[in-house]
Structure 1
């Protein structure tokens, strides 16, 4: 059995910080579960270009609000209780509205190793 707290993960190398977001990677590839689990905070009033060519992701909004715009497609509002699933490697823009950060619970398949950040194309490398 694996037991971790968000507090202990925040105080470790499992916390990855970028200009627009921070991600606490609570479950990673080396845990051998076949997926990774993260608590990610999208900073208020930001826009992040993302294109997971190598991963599928499910994202549940815990708090805050914003939107996801699929490149060449629709824009969907995000608020607490919203789940979106990037099942087609959807290229998108993720925006957090001014006034509050968005806190998201995220699952990746295949799992991340831990320190990945988006490259210039919005991609996480496959490892």
Structure 2
């Protein structure tokens, strides 16, 4: 059984920050936990904008507080994100994640699981890291 407290992750190497400061990802379960997925709490800061295109991963996201928008770059559709909304990037959907009027707190699951050091490259992609 794995038990983790978010307070023990904040401020450690398991809290990864966007290169441009738009978000912080607190990585609670990672590949070396052997669960077949990784599990994160991500804070997306108000009024931020992040280009994301997970070519190597699938992600499901559940908003537990705050607000923002997700803009699907293929369809042009924009969806509101707020407490209780889940979205899944089941087709490696390229999108822009917009922080709203307050910080968003998101619970995220990745498959394949992240190693823990990943950050978006210039195309919004997390690389596959082979340890």
> TM-score by structure 2 length?
0.94
Q: Which of 82, 87, 92 is 2:95 aligned to?
A: 92
Q: Distance in 1 between matches of 2:96 and 2:16?
A: 20
Q: Matched residues in 1 for 2:74 and 2:92: separation? A: 13
List runs of 5+ in structure 1 lacking aligned partners. none
The separation in 2 between residues aligned to 1:4 and 1:28, in whole angstroms, is 12
Name the structure 2 match of 1:101: 103
Superposition deviation, residue 12 in structure 1: 2.0
Q: Tell me which residue corresponds to 1:71.
A: 73
Q: How far 1:126 sits from its partner (Å)? A: 1.1
Give how far 1:97 is off: 1.1
Query: What is the match of residue 35 of structure 2?
Result: 33
Gaps of 5+ in 2: none
* Number of residue pairs aligned between Structure 1 and Structure 2: 126
1:83 and 2:86 aligned? yes
**Runs of at least 4 residues off by over 4 Å:** none
Separation (CA, whole Å) in 2 of partners of 1:66 and 1:80: 10
1:21 corresponds to 2:20: no
